[in-house]
């Protein structure tokens, strides 16, 4: 799967997802739970704003000195016997990893959850070579067995599926015979994947934070799958977005504290693992060969510009969990592996406006995302900036908005037309008006009123009201 997950039109995706009742219920209850837990943890920790400011200063500093830290990281990885490959593009990254798979004659590859490998479409590149690629994160595994469905949430990828659907996926694809109880499903997957870890030739991971000073990578999971992926196969490949780096263990610790609280409302997840190079002499588990692939894939063009703060992101999805638009349309509507506010900002930057020009409009600009962000990315301002860029430079505003703006421009620039329009509004809308609201409007109002009511135009226009009011004042 590449970053883009759908070829359907944005509005068709919205319509389809709005009708998905289970998904909408699941998303809203998940959002509530994630949010409650995050807020509880923040309160319990205390001085949350200071923590956010610390997270922000670390991430900003790293971005401003990114070349230095990547240099230091690569030196230290090499010192511990690891190979470092800097990949400017997705193709360079996948070609390099394909090369490793060929050299190792790899038949089976196990993977722990990684957004950047989704972004560069790594699984397809490896499957092309005839490798069997197995996702080991429970949610990701479910989606993979379900014919490679796209993830709908950065942290909980299978959020849109209920347990009965999951049972049926395993039943149809693998002859699963047990019930839909989550414990039974998980035990089934545990047994199934155990064998895969033990027989895989290569283990592939993402990277939550690389540590420049020690040449380590940090992996954060609850399931423990990343530990098995890195302890058992003889070759380990770690793919990281180039910005996912911190100076030392001390900053890693701070960001992990922010990540686990913001992502899942835990003080720490069950497994935080720092891995440094290849296994040590005499070690009998851990990789004999380690490759770190550092991916740019469009990130450097964000650096130095007004969208740079989005690279502060630590992929916790707190913004996704706070977003009122995501709540209604779910993850698949975004058509990108990156959904919610972070996806709205990041997808057009990495994938271009052609594919993602509607996304900046999938926001109310309420700023809930900005408030939730543990590293203080001004998300709603960046979303607003996208809209400005789309209109000013790209001329790619969605058609309905363009028409509306044009009509408003024309109407508002002519006093006579404007007067007529405001006067005409009430009678024109009267067939659609009930109790002062329009619930099934025509034309441009249709899309709006499908999901909510629009206040009916006042029978008195503001200008008429003002005229009468002035008269009234004069009389007293």
CA–CA separation, 389 vs 206, rounded Å? 32
- For β-strands 235-241 and 202-205, DSSP reports them as parallel
Single residue of 125, 264, 310, 316 touching other proteins by CB under 8 A: 264
Candidate ranges 121-129, 286-294, 351-359, 383-391; the one touching other proteins (CB under 8 A): 286-294
144 interacts with other proteins by CB under 8 A: no
| Residues between 36 and 65 with contacts to other proteins, criterion CB under 8 A | 45-47, 50-51, 53-54, 57-58, 61, 64-65
How many Cα atoms within 13 Å fall on the side-chain side of residue 116?
31
71 interacts with other proteins by CB under 8 A: yes
158 interacts with other proteins by CB under 8 A: yes
Which run of H or of E encompasses 169?
Answer: helix 163-174
371 DSSP β-pair partners: none
369 interacts with other proteins by CB under 8 A: no
332 interacts with other proteins by CB under 8 A: no
CA–CA separation, 286 vs 276, rounded Å? 10
85 interacts with other proteins by CB under 8 A: yes
273 interacts with other proteins by CB under 8 A: yes
Single residue of 95, 124, 187, 424 touching other proteins by CB under 8 A: 187
Do 306 and 16 meet the contact criterion of CB atoms below 8 Å apart?
no
Do 299 and 89 meet the contact criterion of CB atoms below 8 Å apart?
no
82 interacts with other proteins by CB under 8 A: yes
Ramachandran region, residue 239 (left: φ > 0; alpha: ψ -120 to 50; beta: rest)? beta
| 3-class DSSP assignment, residue 345 | helix
Do 461 and 423 meet the contact criterion of CB atoms below 8 Å apart?
yes
| Residues between 233 and 252 with contacts to other proteins, criterion CB under 8 A | 242, 247-250, 252
171 interacts with other proteins by CB under 8 A: no
| 3-class DSSP assignment, residue 140 | helix
Do 87 and 287 meet the contact criterion of CB atoms below 8 Å apart?
no
Single residue of 5, 94, 205, 216 touching other proteins by CB under 8 A: 216
E strands, 242-380, in order:
245-246, 271-276, 289-295
Minimum distance from CB of 372 to other proteins (Å)?
18
Minimum distance from CB of 265 to other proteins (Å)?
10
Minimum distance from CB of 313 to other proteins (Å)?
17
148 interacts with other proteins by CB under 8 A: no
| Residues between 1 and 30 with contacts to other proteins, criterion CB under 8 A | 26, 29-30
Between CA 174 and CA 180, with CA 176 as vertex, the angle to 5 degrees is 130
Candidate ranges 101-109, 155-163, 359-367, 463-471; the one touching other proteins (CB under 8 A): 155-163
142 interacts with other proteins by CB under 8 A: yes
Single residue of 97, 120, 156, 207 touching other proteins by CB under 8 A: 156
217 interacts with other proteins by CB under 8 A: no
Residue 283, phi then psi, degrees to nearest 5: -65, 140
């Amino acid at each position: 799967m590449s970053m883009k997950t759908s070829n359907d039109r944005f509005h068709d995706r919205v319509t389809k997802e709005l009708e998905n009742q289970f998904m909408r219920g699941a998303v809203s209850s998940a959002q509530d739970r994630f949010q409650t837990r995050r807020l509880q943890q923040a309160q319990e920790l205390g001085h949350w704003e200071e923590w956010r400011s610390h997270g922000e200063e670390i991430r900003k500093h790293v971005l401003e000195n990114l070349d230095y830290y990547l240099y230091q990281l690569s030196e230290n990885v090499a010192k511990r016997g690891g190979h470092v490959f800097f990949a400017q593009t997705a193709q360079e990254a996948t070609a390099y990893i394909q090369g490793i798979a060929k050299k190792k004659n790899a038949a089976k590859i196990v993977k722990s959850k990684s957004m950047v490998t989704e972004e560069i479409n790594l699984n397809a590149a490896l499957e092309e070579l005839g490798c069997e690629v197995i996702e080991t994160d429970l949610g990701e595994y479910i989606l993979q067995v379900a014919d490679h469905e796209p993830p709908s949430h950065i942290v909980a990828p299978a959020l849109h599926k209920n347990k009965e659907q999951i049972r049926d996926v395993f039943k149809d694809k693998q002859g699963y015979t047990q019930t839909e109880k989550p414990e039974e499903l998980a035990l089934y997957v545990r047994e199934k994947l155990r064998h895969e870890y033990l027989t895989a030739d290569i283990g592939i991971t993402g990277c939550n934070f690389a540590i420049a000073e020690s040449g380590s990578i940090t992996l954060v999971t609850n399931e423990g799958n990343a530990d098995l992926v890195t302890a058992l196969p003889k070759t380990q490949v770690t793919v990281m977005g180039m910005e996912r780096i911190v100076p030392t263990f001390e900053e890693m610790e701070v960001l992990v504290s922010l990540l686990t609280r913001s992502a899942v409302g835990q003080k720490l997840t069950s497994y935080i693992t720092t891995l440094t190079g290849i296994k040590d002499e005499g070690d009998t588990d851990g990789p004999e060969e380690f490759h770190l692939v550092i991916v740019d894939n469009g990130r450097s063009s964000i650096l130095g510009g007004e969208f740079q703060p989005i690279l502060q992101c630590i992929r916790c999805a707190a913004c996704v969990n706070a977003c009122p638009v995501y709540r209604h349309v779910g993850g698949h509507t975004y058509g990108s592996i990156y959904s919610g506010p972070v996806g709205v900002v990041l997808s057009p930057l990495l994938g271009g406006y052609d594919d993602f020009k509607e996304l900046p409009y999938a926001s109310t600009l309420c700023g809930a995302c900005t408030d939730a962000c543990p590293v203080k990315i001004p998300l709603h301002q960046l979303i607003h900036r996208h809209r400005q860029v789309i209109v000013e430079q790209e001329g790619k505003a969605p058609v309905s908005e363009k028409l509306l703006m044009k009509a408003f421009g024309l109407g508002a620039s002519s006093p006579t037309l404007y007067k007529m329009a405001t006067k005409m509004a009430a009678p024109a809308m009267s067939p659609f008006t009930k109790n002062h609201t329009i619930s099934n409007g025509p034309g441009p109002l249709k899309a709006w009123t499908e999901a909510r009511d629009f206040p009916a135009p006042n029978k008195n226009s503001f200008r008429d009201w003002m005229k009468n009011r002035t008269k009234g004042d004069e009389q007293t």
